[in-house]
A and B are shown apart, each in its own frame.
Chain A
Amino acid sequence: MHVPDGFFNVAVSISAGAVAAAGVAVCLRGARRELDDRTAPMAGLVAAFIFAVQMLNFPVAAGTSGHLLGGTLAAILVGPYTAVLCMAVVLLVQGFFFADGGLTALGVNITLMGIVAVVVGWTVFRLITRSTRSRGVVVAASFVAALVSVPAAALAFTLLFWVGGTAPIEVGTVAAAMGGVHVLIGVGEGLITAVTVSTVLAVRPDLVYGARGLAAPLVLRGADGDATVVRQAPAGTPAQRTSARNSAEVEAGAGAGAGARVRAQAGSRRLGWFLPVGIAVAALLAGAVSFYASSSPDGLERVAEDKGFIGHATDHALAGQPLADYGEVGGIPVGVAGLIGVVVTLVVGAALFFAVRRLAGRHASEDEVSA
């Protein structure tokens, strides 16, 4: 899915580059807050991990296989800001060191796979785990978030393609083709993400950023028998979790941090940030499209002017496609179509969210006791 040079026109390539640069700049500051002075080595190792798991391919349907994107997985494990940085670094390294993905397309690639996938995945994850935070819900949320993030990135790709793609294919066709395959890939991504998160939760729950505060809180008993519950800190300071070769020697205090930095409030503050941003990004891509389309010198505008198109529509192999028709008239219908696409994704995501929430509500009490 790494876009090469020439696939998008210069305007889109440069604009996407600006979006990517701005996004990465914001995340540079955010990641430092997530990891402080450990950011460079930790994020580097996580980036290496993402690069490695992106090599995992899983069968999707007869003959085709998909690759793990990893954006949502990274966000759930190490937090959204660090995740964006890791994805950006992976893409930069793949572009410059392995000639995978065009250099002028780095902006597009980072925006799609680094920013859109992570923002959408994290937003969905936080929406689901907002009120209930038990192990089961975290795993289910991981599945849904990762599932939605893949077609969301594909949708963003389609929108970018409609704005500045250099190939003469109706957006509807692209949307249908991309959407279909990527929903299937999303299922695989969701499965892998959910099981991976579940595995890490079972062994080192303190390493899952999205499950902070999940460990059973410590109880302090005073001399007169009164008990106070200590709020859990997230992944504690490195000193407390030295993992030596002889792991029997050094016991990693499960999830406890010496200074209880209460992150719960910070978490909901961060959610407040992401939800409007997530929707804004999607809406911007959909809405700005209409503005761009009219000033675009080539692509759909030119084709729409070509009167012969409508007559030849029936020659087109994919003319029977329900979505192919709306490409006939350039301008408003297409813009509406773009927005419809965004709405569809949100509706699907919301439906899944509510479904999981209902399930979570049923199991919440049981899970919290056993967590």
Chain B
Amino acid sequence: MGAGHHHQIYRAGDTLVHRLPPQCKLAAVAAFALVVVATPREWFWAFGLYALLLAAVAVAARVPALSVLRRMVIEIPFVVFAVALPFIGFGERVSLLGLSLSAEGLWSAWNILAKATLGVVASVLLASTTEPRLMLLGAQRLRLPPLLVQIAMFMLRYLDVIVDEMRRMRVARESRGFTARDVRHIPVVARSAGALFIRSYERGERVHLAMLSRGYSGSMPIIQDLSASARQWLVAGMLPGAALVALLGTWGLAL
């Protein structure tokens, strides 16, 4: 959470991954994330395989490593937390590089770092290869409640408009010599927030009127039909499928 991450991750392209129907990609990435989180932290091989799988997807989608790395910045607070774990964790201590570290803490740090990183990379790859509106249509096909999808659609459509208005208010404040530095300045910023809410709400009303004027009667009309073939589901399923195979394989080896 924080400023600046509202820039779209989507990168246009025409690769196999880009062409997969969105519902397949959504389901595949969610399933993959689940397999990753369910993996016991001791099974290093499994994690290595997961990383390779994601690399393969990145190559297939022609997403440059740099753009993925840039979006991983979002992870930093938890990286800091994970790094601190061996120092503040309880339990048996081991000696590593002359430092007394918690064994449990080390394991836990690895656990969080590995799973969080794999999760973020998978999300970034999904967002890089799927247009936002297609993502919403895919979610709808996966039975996400239509009202929720519609709310998300309007939100995405007007996000830039609202954020721009907020930015303009900040410019107006700063042009008059104001910068928020401490708690006393909160009320000024909050007043802009109030004005922004009114503007957003009134815009929502005008949008509703525009919809009424074009015949809207309460439910959104179906404009585009998105269906996936069995073959496309199979292709998308390769990611979580391979991850599952890796998981079970490592389990088999461990036995």
Contacts and interface: CB of A to CB of B under 8 A. Distances in A.
Interface in B21-43: 26, 29-30, 33-34, 36-38
Contacts of B204: 38, 41-42, 44-46
Contacts of B150: 40, 44
Given A167-B112, A306-B91, A315-B93, A242 B85 contact: no
B105 A192 contact: no
B91 A48 contact: no
A168 B105 contact: yes
Nearest to B105: A168
A90 B5 CA distance: 13
Interface string A20-61: 000011001001100001111111111111011111111100
A194 B191 CA distance: 10
Contact of A25 (B85, B91, B145): B145
A254 B158 CA distance: 26
Chain B interface, DSSP helix/strand/loop, else mixed: helix
Contacts of A57: 2-3
A102 B75 CA distance: 10
A195 B183 CA distance: 13
B140 interface: no
Interface residues of A, number: 91
Interface of A: 1-2, 4-7, 9-10, 13, 24-25, 28, 31-32, 37-49, 51-59, 67, 77, 85-86, 88-90, 92-100, 102-104, 166-170, 173, 187-188, 191-200, 203-204, 207, 238, 241-243, 303, 306, 308-309, 312-313, 315-318, 327
B159 interface: yes
A306 B90 CA distance: 11
B74 A100 contact: yes
What bracket does the count of chain B residues touching chain A fall in?
35 or more
B121 to A, nearest CB: 8
Contacts of A32: 147
Interface of B: 1-3, 5-6, 8-9, 26, 29-30, 33-34, 36-38, 71, 74-75, 78, 81, 85, 87-93, 100, 102, 104-105, 108, 111-116, 118-120, 122-124, 126-127, 132, 135, 139, 145, 147-148, 150-159, 161-163, 166, 180-183, 186-187, 189-191, 193-198, 200-209, 211-212, 216-218, 220
A95 B116 CA distance: 13
Contact of A243 (B113, B148, B202): B202
A94 B123 CA distance: 10
A6 B115 contact: yes
Nearest to A319: B90
B55 to A, nearest CB: 17
Given A46-B201, A104-B37, A6 B6 contact: no
Given A38-B205, A103-B123, A195-B190, 7 more contacts: A51-B6, A85-B147, A93-B155, A96-B127, A103-B122, A104-B37, A312-B93
Most A C-beta atoms less than 10 A away, residue of B104, B114, B189, B190: B190
11 contacts: A7-B112, A31-B147, A39-B151, A43-B154, A48-B159, A51-B6, A51-B155, A89-B151, A100-B1, A102-B115, A168-B89
A45 B203 contact: yes
Contacts of A99: 9, 71, 74, 120, 123-124, 127
Nearest to A59: B182
A168 B190 contact: no
Given A196-B193, A243-B202, A88 B148 contact: yes
Contacts of B122: 103
Nearest to A82: B151
A199 B195 contact: yes
Given A47-B151, A207-B201, A241-B205, A4 B120 contact: yes
